[in-house]
Amino acid sequence: MRKILGLVLALTLLASFAYAGGGGEASGGGKEEATIRFAHIYAPDHAFSTGADRIAAAAKEKSGGKLVINHFPAAQLGSETDIANGGVNGTIEMIYSGPGEIGKRHTPILILDGPFLFGGYEHARKVLDGPIGQEMWEGCLKATGLRYLRACYYGSRNLTTNKPITRPSELSGMKIRAPEQPMNVAVVRGMGANPTPMALSEVYLALSQNVVDGQENPIPTIHSQKFYEVQKCISLTAHMTQFPIIFIGEKVYQSWAPALQKALDDAVAQVGPTIDKAIQDDEKRLLDDMTSKGMQVVNPDINAFVQATAGVYKEFEKNWGPDLYGKIQALR
């Protein structure tokens, strides 16, 4: 009798542990319920953050409350590198990661951060959502274990300094903060400056203490980080148009029942375009707000910057091969 009671107790405990591991199993296989973390570096009022909140709400609604996404903005779970590592290692289930960061792990993606790569938003979406993008995301999945959900418009990167910059030669000797990614560093160097890599969370203090002379970011990020408080000028170089990517760990995703997968896919598909539009709407509105606060807008010689950074593609071509750049330009 004692042996029988012991066996029943052991089976009961095993069942309880299996449930605690992440939700009940669907009849067709896979977890019917899940709670995951979604992490990134962007400020809580940035459109990426408010968009993440909407994705979480939509996923919860579409799953009947069975998919819960806890949102961790503003580098709460570490730097962009830490978060990307967490996504790859499986310690963070869902992330935003820029092409430069994830491109360290699957190098063809690095081209998406190339200078003056895209001829506009529609051209970029043709690349990202078409066969070129599909090949990249499949390769990324094999290399990193991260499943692509959507690339979201981040805006065009512009330069801020304490003096007007109209040509690359005027950046000579200046220390300009760059993200800690190879392509960004190369582009800033190509523009004529001395790139100084550091995490986004450190930039405001570095600018205020003159550790660096300037930085470059899209307008919504410049505004949300309040760089207009410590920089006098913004030069509209638009030297990189970027699309950070929403990823989920493939092991996590494949552990779910199809209904849960569909809830997440549908939530991202529903909210993703609204994130892009929010950024586009913000670019003019927030630039106007910064000028009202005293920031000077400078219209530089774009052709000079195009020519100065053209060599970056040759420098990095080994990461994606000789034909990819031409294929992207053919879609303009």
Answer yes or no: is pLDDT of 137 > 50.
yes
For the chain, domain boundaries: 28-154+243-282, 156-241+285-330
Buried b / exposed e over 176-196, threshold 16 CB at 10 Å, is bbbbbbbbbbbbbbbbbbebb
| 97 vs 181, more confident | 97
Per CATH, 28-154+243-282 and 156-241+285-330 having the same topology is answered yes
Digit-coded pLDDT (tens) for 67-79: 999 999 999 999 9
3-7, 241-245, 300-304: the lowest-pLDDT one: 3-7
Least confident of 180-189, 247-256, 257-266, 302-311: 180-189
The whole-number average pLDDT for the span 143-149 is: 98
pLDDT at res. 298: 98
Give this prediction's pTM: 0.87
For 88-131, the pLDDT digits (tens) are 999 999 999 999 999 999 999 999 999 999 999 999 999 999 99
Q: Is the pLDDT of residue 44 over 60?
A: yes
* Residue-wise DSSP of 59-128: HHHHTTT-EEEEEE-TTTT--HHHHHHHHHHTSSSEEEE-HHHHTTTSGGGGGGG-TT--SSHHHHHHHH
pLDDT band at 12 (very low <50, low <70, confident <90, very high): very low
- The mean per-residue pLDDT over the stretch 169-194 comes to 96
H or E element that contains 283: helix 258-292
pLDDT at residue number 29: 81
> How far is the C-alpha of 260 from the C-alpha of 177, rounded, in Å?
41
Which CATH number is 28-154+243-282 given?
3.40.190.170
Fold of 156-241+285-330: D-Maltodextrin-Binding Protein; domain 2 (3.40.190)
Burial of residue 325 (CB within 10 Å: 0-12, 13-18, 19+) is: middle
For the chain, give the mean pLDDT. Answer: 92
* 127 touches 329 (CB < 8 A): no
Give the model's pLDDT for residue 13: 35
pLDDT in tens, 23-37: 455 445 899 999 999
CA terminus-to-terminus distance, the chain: 77
For strands 155-161 and 214-218, give the pairing: antiparallel
Q: Is the pLDDT of residue 47 over 60?
A: yes
Residues 6+ apart with CB under 8 A from 82: none
CA distance 72 to 102: 19
Quote the pLDDT of residue 25. Answer: 54
What pLDDT score was predicted for residue 28? 55
